[in-house]
Structure 1
Amino acid sequence: MSRDPTGPPPARLGRRHFLAGTAVAATAGLSGCARTMAGQAREVNIAGSSTVFPITEVVASEFSKKREDITVSISQTGTGGGFSNFFCPGMTDINNASREIADAEVEQCSENGIEPVEFQIATDALTVVVSPEANWVDCLTVEELREIWLEGGARRWSDVRDDWPDQPFEFFGADSTSGTYDYFSEAIIGEEGSHRTQYHATERDRTIVQGVQGNPYAIGYFGFAYYDENPNQIKAVAIDDGNGCVEPSIETAKQGEYTPLSRPLFIYAAKQALERPEVQDFVEFYLEQSATDMVNEVGYVPVTEEVRDENLEKLETTIDEVTDE
């Protein structure tokens, strides 16, 4: 497996050793995508969300074991960056997304003759993390979390609660091109405010782990899978949405108890790309796996069998449409 040296190191995959030695390519940029797609008929190109990336990587790894004739290339660009820079311009076949596609992105795709087809493939418990050394905080209310991340909001821990340290926050979070940023902003900040701009913004979730783990005054957020792989390096903060403190977990997300930070995760396939058998086969395999323990092992909640079957029916209908045209 070829990897981007600036991306998450192989060790990040921890218990999923079966990822090693596959044909999946995880790259930082897709400047050569258009050329690659034109020159190789048996390649599936994917960009988008870093949150969805671990699921897609595992699925692609297993797919490549069964289909050595097809190469699956994956890049972490953020949901918005994936849509605007690669998927809507027609440079990739699939976009990982930690939020629904925006109207402006649908319009951009349409202008380029691209019709996105949405499939929900998991549920995430977006997780707020601090250093294990931050022993004064185990739970935050939604309003406290808003005060921390609001532009012009709290600057020091003691601004939130008087008995907390009189020390400035160090903030780590998703880049503004990320679906995680969009979802967090909507769920926590709301329409009447804006997400703070002075923070360490990144699409590399491993960077957030590294920034938070050694700093008792740091706080960050990202998809649950990245916490689940590093439970001894960082501490997850429970969230109180008015019904008591609830810790992020696969179970609390599945039961709908972890609010408001449980969210659906998606892949979007370009309808036109589904004319190609290799894209058809990969998406079908992905949707079949989305209801299995493969998603659990990554740290997310699988979809129900009902959602899986609806997705497979939508895929079949779409393939019939593009192959009959």
Structure 2
Amino acid sequence: MRGGLHAIWMSCFLAGCGTPPPSEVVRVDGSSTAYPLMEAVAEEYMRTQSGKVRVTVGVSGTGGGFKKFCRGDIDIAAASRPIAKEEAARCAAAGVAYVTLPVAYDAITVVVHPKNTWAEELSVAQLRRLWQPEAQGALLRWNQLDPAFPDRPIHLYGAGADSGTFDYFTEAVVGRPRSSRGDYTASEDDNLLVTGVAGDVGALGFFGFAYYEENAHRLKAVRIRQDADAAAVSPSRESVMQGRYRPLSRQLLLYVNTQHAQARPQIANWVHFALKQAQPLIDEVRNIPLEAAAYEHAFRRFDAALAALGATEVVAAQPTAKVGTVDVR
């Protein structure tokens, strides 16, 4: 993953760029899965601005990002799941209007240690048995999951409770968001999960596709069967874009505070830049791109949302843009 945000600001400091005033700071926070892409976009955008605009990228998890977003503390929330009803209600109560824009696909990837030779593929039903609340303190060994598996302990690693990956995975696998056993190593830092599984032959974990791709030399991705009769499918760019990697494929989303974007042009410029540059940067950080037409549509939705608020520097477009709970045409 990139690590250049600090380097950019050190070089700017040495060159005497100065620190932009607060109005020229773009504040992004949220999903750890989306973080590598957000970091890459921030770095590239700041290079084009020659130190005139600073972009901060936090990694509070999707839930933590939405908390900050609905308080008005940040300009853009990066999310690995749609905003929940109660979160949207908090935004509405605080007067925070927003537009939702897809920016990439992701595949939640179930991984094991490379020396795990038995769990090459798992069904959704097996994952449900393993992760449901009833499994806590009860399903602790591999042969309890499948009699053909060895009699050895299972050590589980997964997203923490503030993570959108946790919400999405539990809903897709267990059937209810946030319904999960609690006796596993949980973290919003996907690199910690990677390290845990990579160092434990008996481990199984889940996190975003980009973190698997970067660490494929020390992890093994498990093929997933949606049901007993379905073929097992590996997570990949092709299987996600073809709609075959189910139910663990999803979109990564940007929630943009439209009032902030209207008042501070650098926010709108950053969003435009992100949508225009997403495809090449996604390749770099190993995410999965949307179709080209989807970025064009998101670009027009964003401009339509700002135009609906009376912004003068964007051109209104015809597609529907959802701003908070109001559809704008």
Normalising by the residue count of structure 2, what TM-score does the alignment of the two structures yield? 0.86
8 Å contact kept, 1:151–1:193 = no
Equivalent AA in structure 1 for residue 267 of structure 2:
V
Secondary structure at the residue paired with 2:133? coil
Distance in 2, matches of 1:215 and 1:309, equals 44
Does the alignment pair 1:254 with 2:254? no
Of 15, 22, 29, which aligns to 2:8?
A: 22
Of 87, 106, 109, which aligns to 1:127?
A: 109
Cα deviation, residue 21, structure 1? 2.7
8 Å contact kept, 2:170–2:177 = no
Distance in 2, matches of 1:324 and 1:131, equals 52
Query: In angstroms, what is the RMSD of aligned CA positions?
Result: 2.1
Match of 1:78 in 2: 61
Q: How does 1:161-310 map to 2 (within 5 A)?
A: 161-191=146-176, 194-242=179-227, 243-275=230-262, 276-290=264-278, 292-310=279-297
Cα deviation, residue 294, structure 1? 1.9
Secondary structure at the residue paired with 2:134? coil
Match of 2:301 in 1: 314
Equivalent AA in structure 2 for residue 87 of structure 1:
F
Cα deviation, residue 324, structure 1? 4.5
The superposition leaves residues 140-168 of structure 1 with CA deviations (integer Å, 9 ceiling, x where unpaired) of 01111111111122221010111212122
Distance in 2, matches of 1:20 and 1:230, equals 23
Indicate how the Cα distance of structure 1 residues 256 and 20 shifts in structure 2: closer, same or farther if over 3 A, else same.
farther
The superposition leaves residues 126-149 of structure 1 with CA deviations (integer Å, 9 ceiling, x where unpaired) of 100111121221110111111111
Of 61, 72, 86, which aligns to 1:104?
A: 86
Indicate how the Cα distance of structure 1 residues 122 and 23 shifts in structure 2: closer, same or farther if over 3 A, else same.
farther
Secondary structure at the residue paired with 2:274? helix
Secondary structure at the residue paired with 1:246? coil
8 Å contact kept, 2:209–2:287 = yes
Equivalent AA in structure 2 for residue 238 of structure 1:
R
Distance in 1, matches of 2:3 and 2:193, equals 23
Equivalent AA in structure 2 for residue 273 of structure 1:
H
Distance in 2, matches of 1:56 and 1:209, equals 20
Distance in 1, matches of 2:250 and 2:148, equals 33
8 Å contact kept, 1:250–1:299 = no
User: What are structure 1's unaligned runs of at least 5 residues?
Assistant: 1-12, 25-35
User: What are structure 2's unaligned runs of at least 5 residues?
Assistant: 11-18, 313-329
Cα deviation, residue 209, structure 1? 0.7
Which deviates the most, 163-172 or 259-268? Answer: 163-172
Secondary structure at the residue paired with 1:155? coil
Distance in 2, matches of 1:20 and 1:299, equals 22
Indicate how the Cα distance of structure 1 residues 18 and 193 shifts in structure 2: closer, same or farther if over 3 A, else same.
closer
Secondary structure at the residue paired with 1:119? strand
Distance in 1, matches of 2:276 and 2:178, equals 40
Match of 2:70 in 1: 88
Secondary structure at the residue paired with 2:255? strand
Secondary structure at the residue paired with 2:169? helix
The superposition leaves residues 259-309 of structure 1 with CA deviations (integer Å, 9 ceiling, x where unpaired) of 11111110100111112111010011011123x232122222212222111
Secondary structure at the residue paired with 1:99? coil
Equivalent AA in structure 2 for residue 43 of structure 1:
V
Aligned identity (percent) is: 37
Cα deviation, residue 23, structure 1? 4.2
Match of 1:155 in 2: 140
Equivalent AA in structure 2 for residue 137 of structure 1:
A
